[in-house]
Amino acid sequence: MAILMYVDNVLRNKRKVPIRESLVLYRALKETQKIFIACDDRAECETWMRQHNLKAFDDLVDGRVPVSSEILEVSQAEWVRSQGKLEMVMTGNVESAKELLERGFRTLLLLDPEYIDPASRPDNRNGRKSWDDIQAEIDKQQEMFAEDPRI
């Protein structure tokens, strides 16, 4: 079984930071499946993959494939399918997923939330307040509200 995974928006986000959950999925699938990695720039992608210890892929598909769609990701998937059986395509692009489904590809759409400020992330450990601090702040605000002559 062959799977095509895109680097951008699947293995890494827009800031080129690895998406941990995707890497776990990649490593799990790699144990039993043939993995093709798709990207725009082969040299940059190979460097990024090496830097993040992702060396065990079967082939790298770059932007130099015959154009069969306005969307590069769809053209890459068509090219991989022309080389042999392609069981699934993993993308993080909604438009690509739509066209891939229309063309008969089994598609897994991975959507990763973006946070403008890393401190806003739910898994951020910095800046968390203890329950006592939160309760003290609520009490303080309630006292200020009760003493406010404008109300």
User: What gap in Å lies between CA 117 and CA 68, rounded to an integer?
Assistant: 38
15-24, 79-88, 142-151, range with the lowest pLDDT: 142-151
pLDDT of residue 151: 67
Q: In degrees rounded to 5, what are phi and psi of residue 54?
A: -115, 75
pLDDT of residue 116: 62
Confidence of residue 38 (pLDDT cuts 50, 70, 90): very high
Residue-wise pLDDT tens digits, 63-121:
888 888 888 899 999 999 998 899 999 999 999 999 999 999 999 999 887 766 767 67
Domain 2-109, CATH among 3.20.20.140, 1.10.10.10, 3.30.420.10, 3.40.50.1000: 3.40.50.1000
Beta carbons within 8 Å of 115's beta carbon, 6+ residues apart:
121
